[in-house]
Amino acid sequence: MAESDKVFSGSIPKFYDTLMVPLIFDAYATDMAQLVAVSSPGAVLETAAGSGVVTRALAPQLGADARYVVTDLNQPMLDYAAARQGADNRIEWQQADALALPFDDGSFDVVCCQFGAMFFPNRVTGYAEARRMLKPGGRFVFSVWDRIEENAFADEVTNAVALVFPHDPPRFLARTPHGYHDVALIREDLRRAGFTDIKIDTREKLSRAPSARDVATAYCQGTPLRNEIEARDAGLLQLATDRATQAIASRCGQGPVAGKIQAHVIVAAG
Ligand SMILES: C[S@@+](CC[C@H](N)C(=O)[O-])C[C@H]1O[C@@H](n2cnc3c(N)ncnc32)[C@H](O)[C@@H]1O
């Protein structure tokens, strides 16, 4: 993983929250909130919370006395999440690296993490850290994207942007968000971290947007793909976005667009 892959700052939080979240994260956040809330947990830790899509879905389902600690590596994402959430005295916002969590052992009933594990430089360390946080009988609920070929827009954007930089194609989307999809490896990493009860459910959904341009802008300007494009030539960000728009429009047309998305949803315990 390149260093810039985990940098969500500058213009990224706003584009991420307004364009990426409705496109591909909202639907899975609804599922994750249900999976967490089903056991009526008294204390929940969320890692890699980003701009707060899971927090917004889960907070209304937790009890009045619940403790909900919401963390992310990048303070600008957390600031965005906290501003959207509004006052809620059950929620504690704290910047934290999921690989070095600043909380006592056995503090939480559930640790949840939506689409964050792909960014962990060492998954076994990140999973062991989640397990350390859990009370006996606690659960670690998390999700990762399936391979890029199962996620239509990410694949189309990656291929279109590659044509703008043929000698050094930006591969962020394939390398990181879609680079950790092997369920055998995920199981093995969880076992090495100490989990014994592991369930993995592969879920397909349909991603929709008002236009191809919304999708292209979301991926090219609302994710660290932007960092990769700007590192090559900041003046080509708009051209890259235009080429991605054309690629999606050539399949979906000029109006509303839709594409398959697919992810693995994992519950680990023991
Ligand atoms: C694709 S976003 C997912 C955000 C959110 N969970 C969602 O579903 O929209 C990945 C998030 O992981 C965060 N992140 C990256 N590395 C991290 C780490 N080591 N510890 C905690 N968060 C991390 C990033 O700041 C970013 O907000």
Q: What is the pLDDT of residues 128-186, one digit of tens each?
A: 999 999 999 999 999 999 999 999 999 999 999 999 999 999 999 999 999 999 999 99
49 Cβ closer than 6 Å to some ligand 1 atom? yes
Q: Is the CB of 25 under 6 A from ligand 1?
A: yes
**Whether the predicted pLDDT of 198 surpasses 80:** yes
Residue from 74, 114, 180 to probe ligand 1 pocket by mutation (most atoms less than 8 Å from CB): 74
User: Is the pLDDT score of 3 beyond 90?
Assistant: no
Distance separating alpha carbons of residues 202 and 247, to the nearest angstrom: 27
pLDDT tier at 22, thresholds 50, 70, 90: very high
Q: Is the pLDDT of residue 5 over 80?
A: no
The one-letter amino acid at 85: Q
pLDDT of residue 1: 79
Interval 242-254 mean pLDDT: 96
The pLDDT score that the predictor gives to residue 8 is: 79
Could you tell me the domains of the chain? 3-269 (3.40.50.150)
The pLDDT of 204-212, averaged and rounded, is: 96
> Is 102 exposed, middle or buried, given 0-12, 13-18 or 19+ CB atoms closer than 10 A?
exposed
Is residue 86 very low, low, confident or very high in pLDDT (cuts 50, 70, 90)?
A: confident
Substitution site in 8, 21, 151 for ligand 1 pocket (most atoms within 8 Å of beta carbon): 8
d(CA 6, CA 176): 9
Query: Helix H segments across 100-256?
Result: 123-133, 152-164, 172-175, 183-192, 212-221, 225-233, 237-252
pTM of the model: 0.95
Which contacts qualify for 81-90: CB closer than 8 Å, 24 or more apart?
Answer: 81/49, 81/50, 81/51, 81/52, 81/55, 82/52, 84/17, 84/51, 84/52, 84/56, 85/52, 85/55, 85/56, 85/59, 88/59, 90/59, 90/62, 90/64, 90/65, 90/66
Q: How far is the CA of 77 from the centre of ligand 1 (A)?
A: 8
List the 134-145 sheet strands across, edge first. Answer: 91-95, 67-72, 43-46, 108-114, 134-145, 257-269, 197-209
Answer whether 162's CB lies under 8 Å from 170's CB.
yes
- pLDDT for position 2: 81
Share of the chain above pLDDT 70, in %: 100
Give the mean model confidence (pLDDT) for residues 191-220. Answer: 97
Instruction: State which ligand 1 atom lies nearest to the alpha carbon of 21.
Output: 9
The residue whose C-alpha atom lies closest to atom 13 belonging to ligand 1 is 48
